[in-house]
Amino acid sequence: MTIGRSRRRWAAVVALGLLGGALAGSCSSDSTSDDTLGPLDGSAATATGIPTGTAPPVSAAPATPTPAAGPAGAGVVRLAVRLSSSGTDEILLLDRGTVAADQLDPVSLDAACTALDGGPGLTVSVIDLSRVTAGQRLLSASLRVDGDVAGAGDYTGMLEVGDADQQLTRFEGAVRVDEGLASGTFDLVDGAGNSATGSFACAADQASLPTTTTMAPAPATEGGTAGTPPPSIVIATTPSIVIVTTPPPTVPQATS
């Protein structure tokens, strides 16, 4: 009888031990799974409350308005330039009314004229880098007279010319301005004595521009006089060689 009770007590202790171990394992398993289980409603969430797998909302940047393309303005600017050093004789012209506003750039495509735009002194300029694709030598020309230009008369001014070789040459000298500051001529020289002569004109449209370009008198050159163009250069050519063939002479036959 004593042995039977002891066995039953021992069985009860073993059973309690097993039950306690099972409960402990269950608690440990529960504490581990708490780190991975989502909210009670079944939706996975991050610490910020944004469901996983969903891209966070991005605040849209304010749209930058695009300037509307349209006429850049009215007015045509023309500069005719002749360079003695290279023999270049070209006309730079830009009709600002045909150029969209977003295409104008002071370093690539632009034009200015005091008669059209106002301002102190006198400024007439055209720049158009696309001229190089058409085989033109001059890409920019800017004529300027500083100080007070009250009206028609002779002034001292400066011309800067940019060419296709990215060379910028400065000329200084006399600038003759017509009434209204919308046209005139110039006769300038650079530091080496090379001349730049030509004319400028500004108008509301191309139809109003002078139909002819009047160049300033060319400077004195060897073989010519000041105010007259240099003499023409005649290139002699070798005359053609003509070969004339004649039939052989006829020898009369002797008669008996």
The more confidently predicted of residues 160 and 240 is 160
Mean pLDDT (whole number) for 155-181: 97
Percent of the chain with pLDDT strictly greater than 90: 48
Of 123, 127, 77, the C-alpha closest to 104 is 127
What pLDDT was estimated at residue 160?
A: 98
The more confidently predicted of residues 238 and 99 is 99
**Tens digits of residue pLDDT in 197-241:** 999 999 999 999 987 554 544 444 444 444 444 333 333 333 333
**How far apart are the C-alpha atoms of 91 and 18, rounded to whole Å?**
108
CB atoms within 10 A of CB 142: 19
CB atoms within 10 A of CB 201: 22
Contact partners, residue 222, CB within 8 Å, separation at least 6: 230
Of 86, 81, 79, 82, the C-alpha closest to 110 is 79
CB atoms within 10 A of CB 80: 21
Per-domain boundaries in the chain: 76-206
Q: What angle do CA 71, 74, 79 make, to 5 degrees?
A: 115
**Residue 123: what are its φ and ψ, rounded to 5°?**
-135, 130
Helix (H, G, I), strand (E, B) or coil at 208: helix
Q: What letter represents residue 30's amino acid?
A: D
Q: Could you tell me the pLDDT band of residue 255, with boundaries at 50, 70 and 90? A: low
User: Which position has the token pair 């209204």?
Assistant: 180
The mean predicted confidence, pLDDT, of the chain is: 73
